[in-house]
Structure 1
Amino acid sequence: MAGAPLAAQIVMIAVMLAQGRWLFALMVLPSAVGCVASLLLAAGRSAIDRSDTGPDGRDDGRVDGSRPAVSGTSAARPEDGPAVFPERCPPWEELALPDPAAEPLVWRHIVRRWLAGGDWAAVLGIDAESRPYRLDLTRQGPHALVAGTTGSGKSVLLETWCLALACANPPSRLTFVFLDFKGGSTFNRLSRLPHARGTVGDLDLAHAVRALAALEEELRRREALAAAHGVGDLSVMDDPPPRLVIVVDEFHALRAQLPDYVDRLTRIAAVGRSLGMHLIACTQNPSGQVNAQMHANLSIGICLRVRDAMQSRELVGAPHAAAIAPSMPGAAYITDGGSVDAVRCAAVRDVDALVGRIGLAARFCALAPAEPLFSAPLPRVVASSDDAADDTDGNDATGWPTLVPFALADDGIALHTASLRLDEGNIAVVGGHGRGRSTLLGMLERRLAVMPGVRLTVVAAGGNGFRVREHARPGSWPDAHGSGPGPPPPPPSPRRARRTADAPVTPDGCADDGRRIWLVDDADALLDPMAVDPMAHRLRRAMRDPGVTVVFAVLSMRHVRVPDDCTTRIVFPSGERHADLMLGIPADLLSRIGVCDPDVPGRAVLLEHGRAVPVQCHAGNSPPVTS
């Protein structure tokens, strides 16, 4: 049958020559030569296969004629058929932990292993000979790809592997980041490990983007650290940073939902070895889900039960994983680029108990939990702490406060407190009705009124114009619902009382006037160049006075000039891209703002010093916190 195309070509050439069509015969000749070459190659392969077959008719285990495909007693040779897995695998505790009679307290065993220097060879289960099987991520890795269909035991394998590493290495040598893109609970219990630096497990793409950005920032930080110490591998440093193991479950979902971010993990796989960063990617189907560049760096391949023999062959070089019975969860073939081992993965009997013992060992060793690498996105509500001004340390030369916290800011990776500077010019609060402008000003009034060294003037629209109230008793600002005055200020805390007593005085012994601040709501009419209200003149004069800081709220920037009228802006986005761009919000930040963010009261953008940072303003109607 293999020579049928060649015979047809020869017949065609003969007919054309008989009819004198020499040109057509020459056109068919190259095809005939190709058929001859194909037959010769096929014959050569058959000869090699016969030379590799022993006297008993069985192959010696070589796949390409150059090296055996498997080695060791637990290896599964492709030509021998699927391996025979042990019917039962004992719990992981029986394989890796001491006998309870010899050591009843597991946490003490964990402490001893940590003090002994740690170990990266983790016990994952048993081999075909029922002996404990160990896999060394640093020596055989540094990265791994795990594949298996639903119910094959992927999640249990990841859980066992991470716990085995955590039992052998303290948080000062090992940390984890868990990314689960299927919305399951694979890493819920592992997230309580003292080694965990962050977990994404609820299909929150915004949270996942933050995690990937944090990983990229951590990669750059480690590259800078290696350059600063002049080393090519961080492990040779006297005090290297802990290794970071990134565990990704359902990698194919990441590729489908965030394809632009896959390159970040690819870069980690390419340079992570020398920087102490390891990647364990898990997917249901390895075919086409991992690009060639990443696949070249994933030295360890673990294939549990799959549906297609081609998937198994692509990952471990043998088709046997497709023949694993559904009744054999945890059965897998593992390769590190050399041998292919048949392994029955073990499960941890009581994950919660083991996590608790690891935490107890960390507390005994006085090891603090790993610092979070990233945080969740901005919450919808941030409770106000009117006593937060006590914690500010920004004071000018006279000792008067220069910072007042007002919101929670988001730099794209982590959250931190956002504060307004009271010594760098006026501040504009821009936004439509119901967005939180008045709530923000009310919160600032209550907070500033109890800060020592502040002279507060409040201007608000009344029935017959604008009402002016010098700071005497704050708390008459409308609440978040506009139904009436907000709560009165809390009584001064002991720290406030001490700071008031220590307020600076002038050379003649009189108390200094302090910092002068104006709070003006609905200032659009006052900023109109055609305004005739006397308050408009007073407001303009105060805005030009370098000794006065004016915080004013407006609906639009029509009558506001930047930076003449304000150096800092708090802009509440409207959701209309063109209008938000006109308000000064950068286009790249608008692209990251969620569709529902403009509908969240208090969600704004802080524009200062050429930077734009999303913030969630403190809720103005939350109960005050007193100290």
Structure 2
Amino acid sequence: MSLKTGKPTATHSIRSQFWLSCIGQSAPIFSQLGIMVLMVLQGNWLYTILLTPSLIATSALSISNLMTSLKTTHSIKQHSDEGVSEDSTAYPLGSMNVGAPLNALPPVKLQDIVAGHEAVSLGGFLWQGIVHHWLINKDPPKSSDSKADEYYLTMLGSSTQGGFCLNLPKQGPHALVAGTTGSGKSVLLQDWCLSLACKLPPQCVNFVFLDFKGGSAFNLLSKLPHCVGSVSDLNLETSVRAIKALELELKRREQIVADQGVTSFEQLDDPPARLLVVIDEFQALRQQLPDYMDHLVQLASLGRSLGIHLIVCSQSTLGQVSTQMKANMNLNISLRVRDTIQSNELLGSNCAALISPNSPGLGFYTDGEQLTGFYCASCEQAGEIIRQIEQATRFCMLPSPCKLFTAPLPQVLSSSARLHTIALAHWECGKACICLGLSDDGVKLYDCLLTLEHNLVIIGGPGRGKSNLIGLVLSQLKKLGSSNRTSGRDIELIYGRFDSNGYHEQSYSYNHCEQASSSNSSNEEPMPPCHTNNRFSNHLTFWLLDDADELLDPLNQDPLAQRLHLALNNPEVQVVISLKSIRRLREPDQFPYQIIFPSGQRAEDVMAGIPPKLLQTLPSSSNSTPGRAILLNHGQATILQCSQK
């Protein structure tokens, strides 16, 4: 497992780098000396004085770097004289007190070192050992407890100090991981997360996975019962939801700490689970969502005291991770990188740039105290380990932790979702409560429940789903009418619609003591206006009217228009109508509930009542997606995907 450098020997390579470093370090000095001589010849003494401190600083820095390079070269020669192979990476280790050379590290399998593996050696199953560790670690220790230092300590492989062990809360609080494609970053992340999941139950540690390269590294890890959110593709909309969810979680934990009057997460009586946010291909996140970098900086600065930790991975950290974030990242890990600049920037040494491409899983880490070489454990059986963790969860009957965020609204709800929508309709304190579909608050999806205690207007153009939504409301009200014994009221349900032959109406009567009855009428014999002046009447009427634009015209003298006017002002009648345009809605106050299908015309949508800020967040596809609407409920705007009837 020797680490070739691509040269005849490692010694020749380092000597070449030493002389190149000498040239690079001395060039700025000679350049500044030349400028100073020119200034002296021209009599510009002021510029000469101003350049002097810069020349001194450059010279001091160059001398320091050259001394470090010379010391490293001397260390190589010393190791060669002692018989250590020159093609190993032992050359930087001797001067950094990191122990044995990397090529001497033994290979390790993850299933042989994770918490619970001892049960397998005794003839049992891994999940049984996992349950044992979960029972031992079910209560996180206080910061003053002697066991606190080892609680989050996990073994991930072998190192030049023995076992490759990391403790993120203690060594971090955040980690920065670098490595080129094929260097073993995915293996390292899988080792880390699986080791923690085997040792600690879901109520003690949770994961959020954000992968911006569309890889499969997190597809397996997202199946862990500890996972509370995962983005495994380049879906920017889902990524934005994840960042917003993390910001809300940060505020929630801040409130918990403030309510208990403590200063940090460790002092809470019943702390929430520690949250590890693992971000792969951070440079892609930074390029595609630059406006959200401030949110991650805030997460890094405040997360330490609130039990939130970042593991940021990137192929190159140069210029990708801001200095504000790096200031809170004490644990730096580097697998193979392409050049010495990246290695020096992360580790203070060029050792990571000299790892062979044929040795994935080898790397170095520093926590501010010393530099240590490591070899990640292989995890070919990651899927089996996850199945054992799932079995342990079922055995312990542990509830799944609440997801921090969900995927965006689907364009079409499945048939099972439609049946679920109908089933949610119920009576609540004598009022009809119906489900319109799924609502979205920008982070999570919820069942959109609406209590029909006021009039409802549905506004949208052709093909957007107005008639479908009217039919959905009708289906749920018919279901409620059939079970109206719990409401204690007599229900009358009227459904009216227009076609080429005029107005047609169908009514259903539900007596809370008798069976339902139905009747039909046409525009030639309209039913009498629905009006009851007694607010304490035991009778409730629902009137559903599709395409009622013409009936809201104040100059319309049609009896049906007069009947609608009376019904809108009758507290015992709940009116649900649909309109093609907001322009027909003369008195919006008559409809506390409004469902607006966006038209794509900003001025018209704002006039309809959709907040401009919400319009900015809507993707362009919302203007053409059937069933995608905005629910306005007493000034609150909610994005909605309506179910099919």
Would you call these one fold, judging by a TM-score over 0.5?
A: yes
- Pair 1:604 & 2:635 matched: no
The yes-or-no answer on 1:429 pairing with 2:458 is yes
Question: Structure 2: how far apart are the matches of 1:558 and 1:543?
Answer: 18
Q: C-alpha distance in 1, partners of 2:280/2:418?
A: 39
In 2, Cα distance between the equivalents of 1:44 and 1:431? 69
Distance change (3 Å), C-alpha of 1:524 and 1:60: farther
Give the letter aligned to residue 457 of structure 2.
A
- If each structure's helix is expressed as a fraction of its own residues, which one has the higher value? 2
Instruction: Work out whether 1:406 is the aligned partner of 2:436.
Output: yes
Tell me the residue number matched to 1:69: none
Report the CA distance between 1:601 and its aligned residue.
0.8
Picking from 84, 92, 111, the partner of 1:93 is: 111
The alpha-carbon deviation at position 561 of structure 1 amounts to: 3.1
1: CA distance between counterparts of 2:438 and 2:597? 14
Structure 1 counterpart SS, 2:255: helix
Deviations 1:219-252 (A, max 9, x none): 0000000000011112222211111111111111
Residue number in structure 1 paired with 2:428 = 395
- For the pair 1:467 / 2:504, whether they are aligned, the reply is yes
Partner in structure 1 of residue 147 of structure 2: none
Distance 2:617 2:137 in 1: 44
Separation of aligned partners in 2, 1:48 and 1:248: 33
Please tell me whether the aligned partners of residues 545 and 577 of structure 2 are also in contact (alpha carbons under 8 angstroms).
Answer: yes
Q: Give 5+ residue unaligned stretches, structure 2.
A: 1-25, 79-89, 139-150, 485-489, 510-516, 521-535
- Matched residue, 2:131: 111
Aligned partner of 2:574 in structure 1 is 549
Does the 8 Å CA contact 1:59/1:79 hold for their aligned counterparts?
no
Question: Which residue in the other structure is 1:317 paired with?
Answer: 348
Letter in 2 for 1:123: M
Residues 367-414 of structure 1 deviation map (CA, whole Å, 9 limit, x = unaligned): 112211111111112246467566456523xxx333111221111111
Partner residue, 1:231: 262
Root-mean-square deviation over aligned CA pairs: 3.3
Aligned residue for 1:180? 211
Matches within 5 A, 1:239-318: 239-318=270-349
Contact 1:174-1:244 within 8 A present in 2 as well = yes
Distance 1:330 1:228 in 2: 44
Residue identity matched to 1:462: D
Q: 1:46 to 1:313 in 2, by over 3 A?
A: closer
With over 3 angstroms needed to count, the CA separation of the structure-2 counterparts of 1:37 and 1:564, relative to structure 1, is closer
1:60, CA displacement in angstroms? Answer: 14
The residue that corresponds to 1:352 in the other structure is 383
Identity of aligned residues (%): 39
Whole-Å separation in 2 of the counterparts to 1:328 and 1:401: 68
Tell me the secondary structure at the aligned position of residue 574 of structure 1: coil
Count of aligned pairs between the two proteins: 560
- Please give the TM-score of this superposition, normalised by the length of structure 1: 0.82
Out of 147, 153, 158, the residue aligned to residue 121 of structure 1 is 153
Instruction: Give the match for residue 38 of structure 1.
Output: 55
| Selected match of 2:558 from 530, 533, 544 | 533
Contact 1:153 1:304 in 2 (8 A): yes
Q: Specify which of 590, 612, 618 is matched with residue 587 of structure 1.
A: 612
State the 1:210 CA deviation. 1.0
In the alignment, structure 1 residue 576 sits paired with structure 2 residue 594: no
Deviations, residues 95-119 of structure 1 (Å, cap 9, x unaligned) = 3432733253111111121222273
**One-letter identity of the residue aligned with 2:464:** R
> Structure 2: how far apart are the matches of 1:10 and 1:214?
60
Distance 1:44 1:546 in 2: 83
Q: Which residue type is aligned with residue 285 of structure 1?
A: S
Residue 564 of structure 1 deviates from its aligned partner by 3.1
| Structure 1: gaps spanning 5 or more residues | 17-23, 62-71, 477-510, 621-627
Q: For 1:435 and 1:51, how far apart are their aligned partners in 2?
A: 70
Residues 89, 258 of structure 1: alpha-carbon distance in 2 compared, 3 angstrom cutoff: same
1:454 alignment partner, one of 488, 491, 498: 491
- Matched residues in 1 for 2:50 and 2:500: separation? 100
Q: CA deviation at 1:37?
A: 8.0
Does the CA-based 8 Å contact 2:547-2:577 persist in structure 1?
A: yes
Aligned 8 A contact 2:434 2:452 in 1:
yes
C-alpha contact 1:557 1:583 (8 A) present in aligned 2? yes
CA distance in 2, matches of 1:551, 1:449: 14
Match runs of 1:328-343 below 5 Å: 328-343=359-374
Aligned partner letter, 2:541:
R
Question: 2:467 matched to which residue of 1?
Answer: 438
After superposition, the C-alpha distances for 1:409-457 in whole angstroms (9 at most, x for unaligned) are: 111111111123221x211100001110001111111221231243111
